[in-house]
Amino acid sequence: MTAELISGTEISKAILEEIKQEVAEMKEKSGKVPGLVTILVGENPASISYVTLKVKTALNLGFKEIQDNQPEDISEEDLLALIDKYNSDDTIHGILVQLPLPEHIDSTLVMEAIHPDKDVDGFHPINVGRLAMKGRDPQFIPAAPYGCMYLLREAEKLVDGFQIEGSNAVVLGRSNIVGMPMALLLIHANATVTVVHSRTKDIPSIVQNADILIGAMGRPEMIKGDMDKHRWEMKCCGA
């Protein structure tokens, strides 16, 4: 079977342009725009890179964007108070706290402190719980699995014979950020889902039976060439 390449870059450009137009129309009609705050604690180079891209994208779309940088030694109490301030700010509609956080801060407490309606990352237990339930829509879904799901839906339109419903889908990885929400999204799409992780026995036989393979494990070379007999592959960022 000839490989079909779906360009996530091109699809992303089209989505961003559509959002940019919607924001412009919103501003013209109401004088308001979406408000996003990105909170960065410390100076982790990878985190700085991620946040810089998020800020640039938000500004290009016409959002109100607040970049709130905090020192590495900020106390957990002060960080929670900062989040509470933005929870109460009506001009802020989304709060992003860049992970990882310093060891002295409990990231679970921080994620739970963000109001579910402003939890753009989709990590709050209420949003995760809604995602896990039938008939309950979360306010936000984690970005990487949502993006993968969007591309799979695009593939249904573009690739002859491809359909998510009824497919055997294998997700490599079970992280809260990518693997688990990815599996839940596929289940809601009526795929039959198997989650593979580092303790799974006989990974090759599971992968060989996959119609859809989602790579969401932070370990290189988990999939070997002789295992690769599935029909459709999607690579997600994350672990």
Which residue out of 29, 54, 84, 106 is catalytically annotated?
A: 54
Angstrom distances, CA of residue 136 to CA of 36, 131, 147, 214:
25, 7, 20, 24
**Cα–Cα distance measured from residue 133 to residue 188, given in angstroms and rounded to the nearest whole number:** 9
**Cα–Cα distance measured from residue 4 to residue 193, given in angstroms and rounded to the nearest whole number:** 22
Is 56 marked active-site?
no
Which residue out of 121, 157, 202, 235 is catalytically annotated?
A: 121
Which residue out of 98, 119, 134, 208 is catalytically annotated?
A: 98
Task: Taking each helix axis as running N to C, give the angle between helix 143-158 and helix 179-188, from 0 to 180 degrees, rounded to the nearest 10.
Answer: 40
Is 54 marked active-site?
yes
Is 119 marked active-site?
no
Report the catalytic residues.
54, 98, 121
